[in-house]
Amino acid sequence: MAAEGIKKLYYSIGEVSEMMGLEAHVLRYWETEFEHLKPRKNRAGRRIYTVEDIAVVERIQHLLRVDKYTIEGAKQVLDRSDGQRIPLTEQRRELLELRGFLENLLKRIP
C-alpha cells in the first residue's frame, strides 16, 4: 500500500508555519487581522488548516512581503475579491504537498 497517494485534509499550525517559513505567532496574529483567515479548531481547541486556508496564508504573505502592502492595504485587496476564499488548483495543491514532503526530507538528512 503506497501512502504517497494519501493527501492530508488538515494541517496543524506548526506544519503550516513550517511550510510557509513563518512563526506560529505570525499566523495567529494574521487570524486576528484578516477575516479571510479563519481556520477551524478541532475538539481539543487546536487550529486545523485546510489547503484553502493555506492558500489564503500564501496570498497574505505575498501581499505583505513581496508586494509590500500594509496590513490595511492587504485587507483591501482581499476584500476586493468579494471576501471569497482563493481557490487552489490541483497543481498548486500538489506543489504544496511536495514542498512539505521535501522540507520534512531535508530535516532527516544528517
Q: Provide the CB-side half-sphere exposure for 73 (13 A, CA).
A: 9
Tell me, what amino acid is at 25?
Answer: H
pTM: 0.67
Of 69, 65, 90, the closest CA to residue 79 belongs to 69
Q: How many domains does the chain have?
A: 1
- Classify residue 13: in a domain, yes or no: no
* Parent domain of 77: 23-99
- Classify residue 70: in a domain, yes or no: yes
pLDDT, one tens digit per residue, over 68-99 is 989 998 888 888 865 454 555 666 777 788 88
pLDDT, one tens digit per residue, over 24-43 is 999 999 999 999 999 999 99
